[in-house]
Amino acid sequence: MNTNSLILTGRLTRDPEFRVSKNDQSVAKGNLAVNGKNDEDVIFVTFYVFGKNAENFKKLNIFKGTFICLQGRLTQYSFDDKKSSEANKITITYMIVDKFEKLSKKDENLEVSPQKKNSNEWDQDSYSPF
């Protein structure tokens, strides 16, 4: 059983970046704003989508303000801060996305948009947050 599992819904804070890595692998990077306990508590999460999933993610035609749902896992990396005179280690935490679904655009209602499903998108009929 994988206990490192994360499901987030929120709005993109900027247009996602798409590129191809040195290994010829597609990569998508984005930032998601997720409401906390109340609307004033906002959590900003950086996420990455890799490989065929990134190619399918790009096909969603998403942009800043799009409401999306992501499923994946948290990961992190650490490095030494070369700019500081002290020996500081910086740790960056981010999400690796395995599944995703576009829920709506910024100007649409928050209802799920009808769209063609593919194997990397949510099966909303079987989705339950509890």
How far apart CA 95 and CA 29 sit, in angstroms, is: 10
Q: Is the pTM of this model over 0.75?
A: no
CA distance linking residue 20 with residue 6, whole number of Å: 25
CA distance 111 to 5: 24
- pLDDT tens figures, 88-101: 888 899 999 999 99
Say which DSSP state 11 is in: E
* Successive 10-residue mean pLDDT values, the chain, 130 residues: 86 95 95 86 94 93 93 91 77 94 67 44 42
Task: Delimit the domains of the chain by residue range.
Answer: 6-104
The yes/no answer on whether domain 6-104 falls in CATH 1.10.20.10 is: no
Q: Within a 10 A sphere around the Cβ of 27, how many other Cβ atoms? A: 17
Q: What is the per-residue burial (b if ≥16 Cβ within 10 Å, else e) of 99-119?
A: bbbbbbeeeeeeeeeeeeeee
Q: How confident is the model at residue 2, as a pLDDT?
A: 67
